[in-house]
Chain A
Amino acid sequence: MTEDIDFEIDAEDLPQRAGERTLGSPSVIVDDLHITYRVFGGRRGGTTQTKTSLLNRAINLGRPDSGPITEVPAVRGVSFVAHHGETIGIVGTNGSGKSTLLRAVAGLLPPTKGRVFVSAEPALLGVNAALLPRLSGERNIMVGGLALGLNAKEVRERTQDVASFAELGDFLYLPMNAYSSGMASRLRFAISTITTPKILMIDEALATGDASFRKKSTARIEQIRDQAGTVFFVSHSLGSVRAMCTRVLWIDKGVLVADGDVDEVCDAYHEFVQGRKDASSGAKLR
């Protein structure tokens, strides 16, 4: 789903340390959230195990090592309350369930169990927004803008802004599969920042493209962040989490490990990552 790329962030591009903002009323309440993915055809022994005889295989045909459907619990019982005026960072290793949690809170992944309450419709800002590769950038801006809930007239008014922000030039009229990957991700970023939502979710969206575009996109995020009530921010970069957030949630294997002050949680997380011997983590399979 999300490519867990640790984007390089230049120190001078980091925004100013977020000041304490006064907490408002609750904006997001997550109550015992569980998300379980169903995966078809997960089975041990496809290639890694030693070959068994044909007879054995024939006998075991109906009894594979694990069922044809594997359940992957990505988020297991997360609860928290977010308030207006908070910027909440979500940290965790690859596959710990950060992006899944973010999507569930945004209402894009229906919870398997548990409930999510929100004060306004959250919007996900990410470089993963769905675009149709065969269509021109222009048409994609229209479809993307409409998907975000604007009407056709509003999108038409903003198309030129989006295109110039994404630095597309004449490529605006070419199909997206002719774009370089940088161009495509710049366009995705520009499309997803058309609107300013009350509750904003940022999924690794910071710093796409080259240095000059990174500066521009960081400024854009800050601008949106200042207007949004509550911001959730998923990142691998502890530097930007420390700089932007007022509170941090640490998720590991789908469970909330820590929730609290930025420096305290970031230090503990840093210690944990340094102490980790191997990179195998991911959701815990039953």
Chain B
Amino acid sequence: MNQQHGRAVTQRLTSHEAAELAAAHGLHEMGVRPPLGRYVKSVWGRRSFIWNLSASRAYARNQGSYLGQAWTVLKPVLDAATFVIIFGFIFHTSAPGIDNRAAFIVIGTFTYALFQSSVMGGIGSVPANLQLIRSHQFPRAVVPLSTALTETMLFGPVMVAMLAVAMLTGFLPGMAPVVPDWSWLLLPFAALLLAIFSSGLGLVFARLGARTPDIANVLPFLLSLGRYGSGVMFSIAGMVGTDSWFRPLLLHQPVAVFLELFRSVIGNEPLIPMTPNLWLEATAWAVGVFAVGFLFFWGAEETYGRD
């Protein structure tokens, strides 16, 4: 093949010679995974890139509609309304001992929405940013991290809406009032922990979704399993018998822990008190899952961008 046009290709180096020549002139290899320490440092060095990319995306999210950014808040409100109608009034025995089922459901839905959108964003982040990945050289963790940060930024106004809607539910018939409390100031910290946890999971799914797009089809089922298995709109503690073996499993899995944390911060239910243990558990899940997710994503760093 090389000779077919009567033109000699210059003498080819063997792989060994090529490596020697590279070493002799201090060349480094492209497309190899950097060691973890250097990788963490380079991701940190790109933090303003992550921030800008996230802010730009958050800004562009709902630009194509008349109500624009208002949809960021309206969508979860509509979501919550659906569940309040069904689980707050139709299946009204689903949360025994809860004074304000509507607020309980509203807080659950809004909180789960942040988790859900971060994970969903993570799985599509590498394919969605292929063009960016193939145009510029940067640590690839920037992509799933900025996707998760976009969702976290959008959660800011959503959180305010959540408080407002929760207070309004106090006026519904048969629901106990929700009054502002000093503990509400802790809400941003709870959201931060949830965001760290979700982006860790997002990193795991980003690696899976990068090479196996099929995962994206399975994810909605996992997410709705998570929605029902964590007690977003009913009380696990009240519905599952105290003697069943999977009760502790359901109560201490991370999503349930975060829902419990958010509800305890709102502090309107005597059955859900805020305890230091709850904060410790949530922090452990957030830090642990983020570390595992980051390591897992880094493990395939050199393959992102390949088809």
Determine how close the nearest CB of chain A comes to the CB of B208; give it in whole angstroms: 16
Q: Counting CB contacts under 8 A, is A118 at the interface?
A: yes
Known: A81-B13, A256-B2, A264-B7. A110 touches B302 (CB 8 A): yes
**Chain B residues with CB below 8 A from A116, complex form:** 29-31
Q: Mark B1-28, 1 if CB is under 8 A from A, else 0.
A: 1101111011011010011011001111
Interface-central residue, A31, A112, A175, by most chain B CB under 10 Å: A31
**Chain A residues with CB below 8 A from B213, complex form:** 40
Nearest B residue (CB) for A126 = B135
Determine how close the nearest CB of chain B comes to the CB of A255; give it in whole angstroms: 5
The answer to whether B10 touches A260, judged by C-beta atoms less than 8 angstroms apart, is yes
Determine how close the nearest CB of chain B comes to the CB of A270; give it in whole angstroms: 12
Query: Which one of A51-59, A128-136, A159-167 contacts B?
Result: A128-136
**Interface of chain A: mostly helix, strand, loop or mixed:** mixed
Determine how close the nearest CB of chain A comes to the CB of B217; give it in whole angstroms: 13
**Chain A residues with CB below 8 A from B6, complex form:** 268
**Chain A residues with CB below 8 A from B138, complex form:** 147, 149
Q: Counting CB contacts under 8 A, is A32 at the interface?
A: yes
Q: Counting CB contacts under 8 A, is B59 at the interface?
A: yes
Q: Counting CB contacts under 8 A, is B242 at the interface?
A: no
Determine how close the nearest CB of chain B comes to the CB of A112; give it in whole angstroms: 7
Name the one of A109, A117, A256 contacting B134, with C-beta atoms under 8 angstroms.
A109
Determine how close the nearest CB of chain B comes to the CB of A198; give it in whole angstroms: 12
Q: How many residues of chain A get a CB closer than 8 Å to chain B's CBs?
A: 61
**Chain B residues with CB below 8 A from A121, complex form:** 137
**Chain B residues with CB below 8 A from A29, complex form:** 13, 18, 21-22, 27
Query: Which one of A13-21, A42-50, A100-108, A209-217 contacts B?
Result: A100-108
A1 to B131, CA, bound (A): 9
Q: How many residues of chain B get a CB closer than 8 Å to chain A's CBs?
A: 49
Q: Counting CB contacts under 8 A, is B52 at the interface?
A: yes
- Which residues in chain B, 17-64, are within 8 Å of chain A measured between CB atoms? 18-19, 21-22, 25-31, 46, 48-49, 52-53, 56-57, 59-60, 63-64
The answer to whether B9 touches A103, judged by C-beta atoms less than 8 angstroms apart, is no
Known: A119-B25, A119-B26, A139-B56. A258 touches B5 (CB 8 A): yes
Known: A117-B22, A135-B56, A146-B52. A258 touches B7 (CB 8 A): yes
The answer to whether A118 touches B27, judged by C-beta atoms less than 8 angstroms apart, is yes
A146 to B47, CA, bound (A): 10
Q: Counting CB contacts under 8 A, is A236 at the interface?
A: no
Q: Counting CB contacts under 8 A, is A265 at the interface?
A: yes
The answer to whether A260 touches B2, judged by C-beta atoms less than 8 angstroms apart, is no
The answer to whether A132 touches B57, judged by C-beta atoms less than 8 angstroms apart, is yes
The answer to whether A107 touches B30, judged by C-beta atoms less than 8 angstroms apart, is yes
The answer to whether A147 touches B132, judged by C-beta atoms less than 8 angstroms apart, is yes
The answer to whether B27 touches A117, judged by C-beta atoms less than 8 angstroms apart, is yes
A118 to B137, CA, bound (A): 13
The answer to whether A25 touches B25, judged by C-beta atoms less than 8 angstroms apart, is yes
A115 to B13, CA, bound (A): 12
Nearest A residue (CB) for B12 = A79
Nearest A residue (CB) for B32 = A115
Q: Counting CB contacts under 8 A, is A80 at the interface?
A: yes
The answer to whether A258 touches B22, judged by C-beta atoms less than 8 angstroms apart, is no
**Chain B residues with CB below 8 A from A28, complex form:** 27
The answer to whether B135 touches A26, judged by C-beta atoms less than 8 angstroms apart, is no
**Chain A residues with CB below 8 A from B305, complex form:** 108-110
Chosen A-B contacts, 20 in total, with CB atoms closer than 8 Å, are A26-B22, A29-B18, A40-B213, A79-B12, A81-B21, A108-B133, A109-B305, A111-B31, A117-B22, A117-B29, A119-B25, A126-B135, A128-B131, A128-B135, A129-B136, A130-B131, A139-B56, A146-B53, A152-B48, A257-B5
* Further contacts, 19 of them, CB under 8 A, given A115-B31, A117-B29, A256-B2: A25-B25, A28-B27, A79-B12, A108-B136, A108-B137, A118-B28, A119-B28, A122-B30, A130-B136, A132-B56, A132-B60, A134-B60, A135-B56, A175-B63, A255-B2, A257-B2, A260-B10, A268-B6, A268-B7
- The interface of chain B, by Cβ under 8 A from chain A, is 1-2, 4-7, 9-10, 12-13, 15, 18-19, 21-22, 25-31, 46, 48-49, 52-53, 56-57, 59-60, 63-64, 129, 131-138, 213, 302-307
